[in-house]
Structure 1
Amino acid sequence: MRLLLVFGWSMQFIVIEWQVYSLTKDPLSLGIIGLMEIIPAFTMALFAGHIVDKREKRNLLALCIAAFSLISLGLFLLTWPKIVAGWSTSKILYGIYALVFFGGFLRAFFGPTIFSLIALIVPKKIYPNAATWSTSTWKTAAVLGALFGGFFISWLGVDKTLCLVFILVVLSFILTFQIKKKPILNKKVGEPIADSLKAGVTFVFNNKAILGALTLDMIAVLFGGTVAILSVFAQDVLEVGSEGFGIMNASISLGSIVTMFATTYIPISHKTGKKLLISVFIFGISIIGFGLSNLFWVSVLMLFISGAADGVSMIIRQTILQLKTPDDMRGRVSSVNSMFVGSSNELGAFESGVAAKIMGPVAGVVFGGCMTLLTVLTIGAKNTVLRDLDLRDDMNAYENED
């Protein structure tokens, strides 16, 4: 289910960015896509976590996917020449931005729901390995979606590719019902919403390991994300067309997949904090390398390395969250995670668009990579709990409990 959903989701992201930049030739329009998604995703995140903790997870996920299928259908119609013939560019753009805004609202629910559902399916003692496979499935779908999205633009056209996305989302919705309903662990009756939301935020801010990991990834994604303006590099900097655009997007996720499968055999529980800091530092270096490169193969290599480093940091962050979050608070803690890291993807897209508009795409990317390195050095020096974090004791505790 997740493979089909993320595969379609990734293709949709690639195709819409390509289409919007093709219509406007303005990198700021790509930043607006991120802004339209972050506003509802960020403002709804905590409330969504409260709802997820109070509701049955399988049916809630099915409802989210059903609503997402309507967004995919709408985007297909907005790019179908038979529908939009004679429409102005601004009218099409406003329609796309509106659907992206609705998608941001749904995304506030997707993360906490899937995070909580996985925790109800997988035994606690194999969380790290399960986190690796779960994230690898997501990244596999993302790399295939990015790769095929770029090629399908050339082979099928934008409208037919988005029609395929709609079909994939519908199939994902059907497969959701192969998952059994799960029990509701948080059954507190009459708990004020404000108290419930405060409990999730307080837990995260009182846990320096979780707070440090989330802050580190948030800043890295905020300033180091290049995905939002890859279409600018593909069309105007490297001039490699839609096929090169797909390859560049796919190389990021391919790097993640390689390292994620490697970490199923390489334990991350030993010196976890140091490994997290090193992986994000390598991510920042590779982003700077990508920004400075004017050779396509070097750019692809730098993006591959950035994806590999990001994959390691993602698995470590998910493992920390899974091991250190109580079962009855997973929805709310995942929502805080979404506010820190998930929303920073969209805010990072906006920042990348603005930086590319003001500084130019190359300088904007290099600036983001430098900010990432500065963040790693600062958190490594200030947050000794995260720097010295070792998860072996947590793993042993869960194994003894089981």
Structure 2
Amino acid sequence: MEFDSPRDILRHRPFQFFFVTRSFSRFATQISTVAIGWQIYDLTGSALYLGLAGLTQFLPTAILVFVAGHVADRYDRRRVLQVCQSAEGLVAIGLALGNVFDILTVPGIFAALIVLGTATAFESPATAAILPAVAPPGRLQQATALSTAGNQMATIVGPALGGFAYAASPSVPYAIMTVLWLFASVMTRAIHLERPPAPKEMPTFSALFGGVRFVRDNPIILGVISLDLFAVLFGGATALLPIYARDILQTGPWGLGLLRAGPAVGALAMTVVLAHLSINRRAGLRMFQAVIAFGVATIVFAFSETIWLSLLALAAMGAADTVSVVIRFSLVQLSTPDEMRGRVGAVNYLFVNASNQLGEFESGVVAEFLGAVPSAVLGGVGTILIALAWMRLFPTLRAVERLDEPMPSSSLASSAPPADVAMRARPPA
């Protein structure tokens, strides 16, 4: 079967089921960010608590990252996803009942965040490792863009629905999350892997940290992952959205839902472009340019006092981030053997999760002492400076030209990639 268009890829049955289950899980996650974020701020009125919510979700990842990666490589990845999604659904039931009976407290919400963070720590590397096995041969970049589009559709509708549902009753968004996560768990079972995984490696101490060694020994992958960590670490303005919605833009939960959806609108538009037009030239440079654009848009958002300009800036942030995500994911997955994808995916997720959730913690702490606007401005400036620094620290990454085929891992360890592989690099300007 030929896969000449995004529609053909969506008709590919293994990818189809993967697309649905990942989108529904993402949908539930996005509803939770609005519902939990607004409820914490409503109960505490503290930016610091918003930052602590991000830290609480990050800690399970930091503690379990190596175990989670090895679980994704040793056990059936579909079964791992099912267990995680079922656990998330049970947490959502608990949050809904806590609101119905008016017994939910701030410590109870943070306990729920710990469980959600633990489930996500195992779910993410397993999800990343499954995608190359369900994507049509030679179409990983387009499949990644389509998968991202599904996530962004959920991110657009999820926060808006979460905001309106919370305005009706705090228990409603948690009930919706329950249905979505349990449905995703059922759909995961229907995923058929056309390319079965390689024989499983025995769970030795050395194998547990294999992903760390692989990333450390491959400069391009190390540069890609660390760029995301430090750039987004300083650009975590999304943690401040409840403050912007209530105190700066003078809206309610519905306004927070729209702001949460803003980045996804831009991201969805960009994924449509990338699904039709692959990045075939100067891929490394395009990634750095996208990160710089993300920083500029963050600064615009920081100074905005009108909701339409804030939404426009957030949409630009989402579009820029999508370019970076597609290039980063393609580089990591195409350059990693299947038997290592779970562990490398876990390391990647640790960096991504750190950048998002520790970035929220950093933004919350700075906002507590300096205010929301200075915190967001400093984050945008920091993102731009990190991108410029990484362009000099990782010239080989900047020189990556194409994302057509896997690059042999041996070539990645070299300071200059060979000219005879499909992912060719041009000399740094």
The TM-score bracket by the shorter chain reads over 0.9
Q: For residues 252-301 of structure 1, what are the alpha-carbon distances to aligned partners after superposition, in whole Å with 9 as ceiling and x for unaligned? A: 11111100110112221321100000000000000011101112211111
Equivalent residue, structure 1, for 2:112: 99
Is it true that 1:173 corresponds to 2:181 in the alignment? no
Residue 124 of structure 1, CA deviation: 4.0
Is it true that 1:146 corresponds to 2:159 in the alignment? yes
Structure 2 residue corresponding to 1:56, chosen from 33, 57, 76: 76
Is it true that 1:187 corresponds to 2:207 in the alignment? no
Q: For residues 185-212 of structure 1, what are the alpha-carbon distances to aligned partners after superposition, in whole Å with 9 as ceiling and x for unaligned? A: 24233x51x2113321111112111111
User: Is the contact between residue 78 and residue 96 of structure 1 (CA under 8 Å) also seen in structure 2?
Assistant: no
User: How far apart, in 2, do the equivalents of 1:146 and 1:219 lie?
Assistant: 26
Give the partner amino acid of 1:12: S
Which structure has the highest helix share of the two? 1
Residue 339 of structure 1, CA deviation: 1.1
User: How far apart, in 2, do the equivalents of 1:161 and 1:105 lie?
Assistant: 21
Is it true that 1:4 corresponds to 2:20 in the alignment? no
Percent of pairs with identical residues: 33
Equivalent residue, structure 2, for 1:309: 320
User: How far apart, in 2, do the equivalents of 1:393 and 1:349 lie?
Assistant: 34
Structure 1 residue corresponding to 2:281, chosen from 252, 270, 285: 270
Give the partner amino acid of 2:77: K
User: How far apart, in 1, do the equivalents of 2:102 and 2:296 lie?
Assistant: 45
For normalisation by structure 2, the TM-score amounts to 0.87
What's the secondary structure of 2:139's corresponding residue? helix
User: How far apart, in 2, do the equivalents of 1:59 and 1:121 lie?
Assistant: 16
User: How far apart, in 2, do the equivalents of 1:285 and 1:41 lie?
Assistant: 29
The number of residues matched between the two structures is 389
Give the partner amino acid of 1:162: Y
Is it true that 1:380 corresponds to 2:380 in the alignment? no
Give the partner amino acid of 2:105: I
User: How far apart, in 2, do the equivalents of 1:354 and 1:232 lie?
Assistant: 13
Give the partner amino acid of 1:47: V
Residue 52 of structure 1, CA deviation: 0.9
The 1:343/1:186 distance shift into structure 2, 3 A limit, reads farther
User: Is the contact between residue 59 and residue 181 of structure 1 (CA under 8 Å) also seen in structure 2?
Assistant: no
Give the partner amino acid of 1:43: I
Higher relative contact order (CA 8 A, sep 6+): 1
Pairwise mapping of residues 15-164 of structure 1 onto structure 2 (< 5 A)?
Answer: 15-80=35-100, 82-84=101-103, 92-154=105-167, 156-164=168-176
Give the partner amino acid of 2:176: L
Q: For residues 296-344 of structure 1, what are the alpha-carbon distances to aligned partners after superposition, in whole Å with 9 as ceiling and x for unaligned? A: 2111111110111011111111111111111110000000101111232
User: How far apart, in 2, do the equivalents of 1:216 and 1:251 lie?
Assistant: 23
Listed as ranges, the gaps of 5+ residues in structure 1 are 85-90
User: Is the contact between residue 58 and residue 181 of structure 1 (CA under 8 Å) also seen in structure 2?
Assistant: no
User: How far apart, in 1, do the equivalents of 2:99 and 2:354 lie?
Assistant: 26
Residue 77 of structure 1, CA deviation: 2.0
Listed as ranges, the gaps of 5+ residues in structure 2 are 1-20, 408-420, 424-429
User: Is the contact between residue 241 and residue 259 of structure 2 (CA under 8 Å) also seen in structure 1?
Assistant: yes
For normalisation by structure 1, the TM-score amounts to 0.93
